[in-house]
Structure 1
Amino acid sequence: MSANGGTRAIIAALAANIGIAVTKFGAFMLTGSSSMLAEAIHSVADSGNQGLLLLGGRRAQREATPQHPFGYGRERYIYAFIVSIVLFSLGGLFALYEAYHKWSHAEPITKWQWVPVTVLVIAIGMESFSFRTAIKESNPLRGSQSWLRFIRRAKAPELPVVLLEDFGALVGLVFALFGVGMTLATGNGRWDALGTAMIGVLLVTIAIILAVETKSLLLGEGAEQHDLAAIERAVTDGPEVERIIHMKTLYLGPEELMVAAKIGVPACETAEEVARGINAVEARIRSAVPIARVIYLEPDIYSAAADQAGTGAASHTAVPQPEDGPDEAAGRSGG
């Protein structure tokens, strides 16, 4: 993912949310609308979240240390996970509490009635600009994928987080406009409480989606199917390697992939020839998949008998891939 693209989307969202939060708080103080208060807190939470994403991106750029030899790339996942917690607690749960309170003590909007509608319309315009920026920055990375698949498969968390937050903000503003509009039309403050509850349910749902997706990244995900295929071709494309005995991949960060493989090399080669062959294979892997920056290749002499028996140096420990067809799975296992 382009880190600059993610940063531009975050900054656009941050600028929009700060401005929106100020106007929403002003509207709440003038009208007492719970929808306006819930939306103001939502904008504050979003602003804090964008600050966390920027901080995570900065901290992830630190150099590797003896204590953290693979660097700090995954710190971006940690901060994205914190974002989901903030959105759930500060945004969603607060809105649900405010909805319950307002439903029990419903009050109509009797003063400055034009303010909340005006503020919400302006906020929709500002959020639309932020959402448009996030979409524009995401499209080159999304390619032909659906938006749902892009959010689920993206290894860099920033753009999916901003996309979901901006989408939730736009829908939340529509909910708030509905609650405020119905309250103004009927004089019944419970419509305002209903709009607030809808905002709360929306934010909790988005927070849960973000938490689930970020948890998967924190646990460690392997390379996508097309990258796996490219790596396998790069390994077996020359005469240096007879087959892949087994291979595993792991994202160390959004733009850094680790590849570890045991490879079958021709028998009777000297150590110098094996070393030259491994260097050539590593160069081909990096050319095929540039983010494969950490590569460990273990040479071995492949033994079909040991493979079948599951013993010896060439025993097989293939990683199952549910989406692969039989041919692809057989190719990865070296069978």
Structure 2
Amino acid sequence: MSAGGGTKAILAALGANLAIAVAKFVAFLFTGSSSMLAESVHSVADSGNQALLMLGGKRAAKRSTRKHPFGYGRERYFYAFVVAVVLFTIGALFSLYEGWHKIADPQPVESPIWAFAVLIFAIVAEGFSFRTAIKESSAIKGDHSWVAFIRRAKAPELPVVLLEDFGALIGLVFALFGVTMAVVTGNGAWDGVGSLAIGVLLAVIAIILATETKSLLIGESATPEMEDKICAALEAAPEVSRVIHLRTLHLGPEELLVAAKIAVEHDDTAGEVARGIDEAERRIREAVPMARVIYLEPDLYRADAASGQRTGA
């Protein structure tokens, strides 16, 4: 997995979630808190999610085959989508069930000091993991907002870890609120309310992740800025008059397919056209290094007098 895949952030999240899951489950055994059980399952699901992201990065590095000539880069998108499904089915649905069960049959929180101690420890550990994810993401986020970064990022790992860690921190606050209210009021139903809030939060995050990774799985183009660079590189080649049309597609987070129809002069020889295409490909790779697969089709250009649109001859 490349640096853009956020390996350090994934490992930090995995270590934090494993430690937190054990601590939360121990606290649940002492307290019987529904919120603590929901948070335990949440942390176990998150640990599994980080393992899935690592697996996706490893499988995406496989060499291309005859059956998969463009490689396995989209494996990273597939496993990120699986993460969203796991987060919803295991994390959200279990938390919602536990919350409903606790409200229907409230039980007092026993030995609440265990719950408070573990929740504070978990907030510190998740904060460290979240800080690591923010630090790695900031290096590639640029001037975009965090919402824009999550929507525009082609490498799915960092957005997934960011949303998971953010959701974990908010979920811990919900759990702390539920346990605190249950202890203060003596009504165990508040513990169920905290679990329900965690379930709703996880469901929202899972839907956001599924929506974004679904778009990547279907196939997304390069950013407009990157396509502008490709057009400029093409039109800088002396044998290329202009770009008639351009199509791009991410084969993986760091691999781009470029297909373009380019206009050449009608009196160019085949050798001149071939040299022009070679030069255009060189310029594209120089301007956009992730453009690994390039197909250029030479054509003649004419302006459509009726519509003013550019078309191939």
Q: TM-score, normalised by structure 1?
A: 0.90
Secondary structure in 2 aligned to 1:283?
helix
Where does structure 2 lack aligned partners over 5 or more consecutive residues? Answer: none
1:223 aligns with 2:215: no
- For 1:77 and 1:307, the matched residues in 2 are separated by 43
1:45 aligns with 2:62: no
Indicate if the aligned counterparts of 2:303 and 2:309 stay in contact, CA closer than 8 A. Answer: no
Q: CA RMSD in A?
A: 1.7
Alpha-carbon shift at residue 5 of structure 1 (Å):
5.6
- For 1:54 and 1:162, the matched residues in 2 are separated by 12
Matched letter for residue 145 of structure 2: S
- For 1:196 and 1:308, the matched residues in 2 are separated by 60
Indicate if the aligned counterparts of 1:306 and 1:314 stay in contact, CA closer than 8 A. Answer: no
Residue of structure 2 in register with 1:152 after alignment: 151
Alpha-carbon shift at residue 238 of structure 1 (Å):
2.8
Where does structure 1 lack aligned partners over 5 or more consecutive residues? Answer: 316-335
- For 2:253 and 2:21, the matched residues in 1 are separated by 31
Secondary structure in 2 aligned to 1:248?
strand
Indicate if the aligned counterparts of 1:142 and 1:150 stay in contact, CA closer than 8 A. Answer: yes
Matched letter for residue 70 of structure 1: F
Q: Identify if the C-alpha distance between structure 1 residues 272 and 141 changes in structure 2 by more than 3 Å, giving closer, same or farther.
A: same
Residue of structure 2 in register with 1:252 after alignment: 251
Indicate if the aligned counterparts of 1:234 and 1:288 stay in contact, CA closer than 8 A. Answer: yes
Secondary structure in 2 aligned to 1:51?
helix
User: Structure 1 stretch 201-210 or stretch 264-273: which is displaced more?
Assistant: 264-273
Counting only pairs closer than 5 Å after superposition, residues 1-335 of structure 1 correspond to structure 2 as 2-3=2-3, 6-109=6-109, 111-304=110-303, 314=312
Q: Identify if the C-alpha distance between structure 1 residues 71 and 277 changes in structure 2 by more than 3 Å, giving closer, same or farther.
A: same
Count of aligned pairs:
313
- For 1:59 and 1:6, the matched residues in 2 are separated by 16
- For 2:297 and 2:93, the matched residues in 1 are separated by 51
Alpha-carbon shift at residue 287 of structure 1 (Å):
0.8
- For 1:201 and 1:190, the matched residues in 2 are separated by 17
Q: Identify if the C-alpha distance between structure 1 residues 157 and 301 changes in structure 2 by more than 3 Å, giving closer, same or farther.
A: same
Identity %: 63
Matched letter for residue 259 of structure 1: V
Alpha-carbon shift at residue 310 of structure 1 (Å):
9.0
Alpha-carbon shift at residue 214 of structure 1 (Å):
0.4
- State the Cα deviation string for residues 147-168 of structure 1 (Å, max 9, x = none): 0000000000000000000000
Indicate if the aligned counterparts of 1:5 and 1:137 stay in contact, CA closer than 8 A. Answer: no
Matched letter for residue 147 of structure 1: W
Alpha-carbon shift at residue 225 of structure 1 (Å):
0.9
- State the Cα deviation string for residues 115-174 of structure 1 (Å, max 9, x = none): 000000000000000000000000010011100000000000000000000000000000
Indicate if the aligned counterparts of 2:95 and 2:198 stay in contact, CA closer than 8 A. Answer: yes
- State the Cα deviation string for residues 253-305 of structure 1 (Å, max 9, x = none): 00001110011111211111111111111111111111111110001122335
- State the Cα deviation string for residues 66-97 of structure 1 (Å, max 9, x = none): 00000000000000000000000100010000
Matched letter for residue 164 of structure 1: L
Matched letter for residue 33 of structure 1: S
Alpha-carbon shift at residue 3 of structure 1 (Å):
3.0
Secondary structure in 2 aligned to 1:67?
coil
Residue of structure 2 in register with 1:322 after alignment: none
- For 2:233 and 2:101, the matched residues in 1 are separated by 62
- For 2:139 and 2:211, the matched residues in 1 are separated by 25
- For 2:28 and 2:50, the matched residues in 1 are separated by 23
- For 1:310 and 1:162, the matched residues in 2 are separated by 44
Secondary structure in 1 aligned to 2:312?
coil
Matched letter for residue 85 of structure 1: V
Matched letter for residue 221 of structure 2: G
